Amino acid sequence: MTLERRNNPFDSDMARRVRLDGIRKAALDTGRNRLLVTGVMFVLAFAVISGRLIDITILEQGSEPRVAQSEGVTGSTAARADIVDRNGMVLATSLPTASLYADPFDVLDAAEAAAKLNRLFPELAPEGLVERLTSKSHFVWIKRNLTPDQQYEVNRLGIPGLYFQRGERRTYPHGRLAAHVLGLTDVDGRGIAGVEKSMDRVLRAGEAVRLSIDLRVQSLFEEELAKGIRDFSAIGGAGVIMDVRSGELVAMVSLPDFDPNHPATMVADTGFNRTTKGVYEMGSTFKLFTAAMALDSGKVGLEGGYDATHPIQVSRFTITDYHGKRRWLSVREILVYSSNIGAAKMALDVGTERQKDYLKRLGLLEAAAVEVPEIASPLVPAQWREINTMTVAFGHGIAVSPIQMTAGVAALVNGGFRFEPTVLMHEPSLMPAGTRVLSEKTSQRMRALMRLVVVAGTGKNADVPGYLVGGKTGTAEKQVNGRYQGNKLFSSFVGAFPIDAPRYVILAALDEPKPNAQSMGYATGGWVAAPVVSRVVARMAPLVGIEPVTEQREREAMAPVQAVYRVEGARAAR
């Protein structure tokens, strides 16, 4: 018996489901595979990109700098900040510039490129250019700090492999003016001299520096000191103006000087800062300190004095007076007539230890703490014996810088306070108090004595009609190979004005001046340096708002002079 199989509808539905499930599974598997392949491709692409970034930023950074960097500011893109004077006038600034470099691997013809660049920049030797353009490095400098015109001309050459880096160039708008104060930077924008060096970190951080220098006063002082150098054929000069109330330096001049825009001019003597780096025997200007310490210690009074009739003989040394009066001299007369004998005897009364103590308090036995790196320490006796005490009294046997001398005299006239000299302007709310080194009474007496020297003594050529100037002349022979040379002088004048209420101390010095007909054959401080101070005061006073004196103030200032005339007249009558 034959059995027939009947068609079951449930069987066909199940078959269809199985086929659909197979199709769906195949589609899902295909999608997963495609996503997997795509993901792997993305991972590989990111790995390649990351590897290249690491290669460029880390491995190649030292040898192939392809991006301009701020070379003057480590870790910062800030431009080097400006230096300005006390009135906000820009003394040093940074301007954007371009520097030319090459990738030798991109240069097609090194010889042709070198020839073209040499025609544009004759100072670049073709041989050196070829050597650089065939280097195995990817980065070689061609020329730094191009002008816009030079950059344009390089682009016109159309040389493959030449590129530009953006940077900055330090510029000094006033050229040589205040060059020794400002200093300069190197090709990478780092300070290498002057304030540029001492304040390098501040300037690189983008913080402007305001100096105490008054550009107007600095300019006229440089002019007048240069005139003095020309008139007396000196080899150089130094000048300092200090505000006696704060220690701020309003002007600081050293000649000859240089142009910081052209570093090649800073050679030999031009780069030497005579005001801070030079130390000199200052001669009779030191008698101011001797008189001050004698009066302050009570060893002698204004009416006291010493016998200056005969020279002083100490071992092989003889102390004499230049055009001596050969008689007893009062303290006033010792300064007016600049007596070495009188000063030496005055110092002996003060004593060696007290002399050293006063000079230390006045800042004359250690280097000045001014904000320029070019600072010299004073030269003092290795063994301070009695003969040293006497010679130091009139400025021989000790050598100090002009800035030390100026700061010391400021303490004599400002009421007896010592201020550290500074080229940075103080904030009005942070003015220093100063350190007392002399009594107010001693300071008053010193002001009267200094006025007397100008009116009736060796400093007459420093007088200025309408203004009360007081001061002291100084002339010292320079040492050459251990011997004093009578024809090589360091001649100076240090003064203060207005002397009855001092605002400024001014020092002018000429290095090895030569006498002429104008100076009656002399090259001393009274003839060559005092006139410089006179001209500076006359031009400076109106600029800084100091009015001419009244007749009443003039009479009061003349009182010490009248007193000396009365004393001398009484002696003459006897």
- Model pLDDT for residues 142-189, shown as the tens digit of each residue: 998 888 899 999 999 999 999 998 888 899 999 999 999 999 999 889
The DSSP secondary structure of 225-271, one letter per residue, reads HHHHHHHTT-SEEEEEEEETTT-BEEEEEEES---TTSGGG--GGGG
- Is it the case that residue 105 has pLDDT exceeding 80? yes
Q: What SS3 string covers 500-532?
A: CCCCEEEEEEEECCCCCHHHCCCCCHHHHCHHH
- Model pLDDT for residues 251-276, shown as the tens digit of each residue: 999 999 999 999 999 988 999 999 99
Strands 305-307 and 312-314: unpaired
Q: Residues 99, 212, 254, 284: which is the catalytic one?
A: 284
pLDDT number for residue 8: 55
d(CA 247, CA 443): 17
CA dist list (Å): 354 to 1, 292, 365, 395, 399: 152, 12, 13, 17, 19
284 among known catalytic residues? yes
pLDDT number for residue 471: 97
Among residues 572, 548, 555, 540, the alpha carbon closest in space to that of 243 is found at 540
Average pLDDT, the chain: 88
pLDDT number for residue 549: 86
Identify the structural domains of the chain with CATH numbers, from first to last.
218-573 (3.40.710.10)
pLDDT number for residue 166: 85
480 pLDDT tier (thresholds 50, 70, 90): confident
| 12: Cα separation from own chain's centroid | 105
Average pLDDT over residues 443-459: 94
Average pLDDT over residues 386-415: 97
399 compared with 427, residue with greater pLDDT: 399
Question: Which amino acid does the sequence have at 58?
Answer: I
- Looking at the DSSP bridge assignments, the partners of residue 400 are 280
Cβ neighbours for 308, distance < 8 A, ≥ 6 positions apart? 321, 324, 325, 326, 327, 328, 329, 334, 339, 341, 342, 345
pLDDT number for residue 71: 37
Letter string b/e over residues 396-419, b meaning 16 or more CB atoms within 10 A of that residue's CB: bbbbbbbbbbbbbbbbbbbbbbbb
- Is it the case that residue 7 has pLDDT exceeding 90? no
Average pLDDT over residues 529-539: 98
314 pLDDT tier (thresholds 50, 70, 90): confident
pLDDT number for residue 433: 87
- Looking at the DSSP bridge assignments, the partners of residue 101 are 141, 163
User: Using omega within 30 degrees of 0 as the cis cutoff, is the peptide bond preceding 465 cis?
Assistant: no
Lowest-pLDDT choice from 29-43, 300-314, 356-370, 415-429: 29-43
- Is it the case that residue 572 has pLDDT exceeding 50? no
CA dihedral defined by 269, 270, 273, 277, rounded to 10 degrees? -20
pLDDT number for residue 551: 78
Q: List the structure tokens of 447.
A: 């002001």
Type and span of the H or E element at 27? helix 9-54
Contact between 358 and 296 (Cβ < 8 Å): yes
Q: What are phi and psi of 551, to 5 degrees?
A: -60, -35
- Model pLDDT for residues 505-523, shown as the tens digit of each residue: 999 999 999 999 889 899 9
d(CA 476, CA 524): 9
Question: Which amino acid does the sequence have at 88?
Answer: G
3-state helix vs strand vs coil in the chain, percent to 5: 45, 20, 35
- Model pLDDT for residues 14-65, shown as the tens digit of each residue: 555 555 566 666 666 676 777 776 776 777 767 767 666 665 544 444 443 4
d(CA 23, CA 567): 134
pLDDT number for residue 564: 53
End-to-end CA distance of the chain: 185
Average pLDDT over residues 72-97: 80
pLDDT number for residue 70: 34
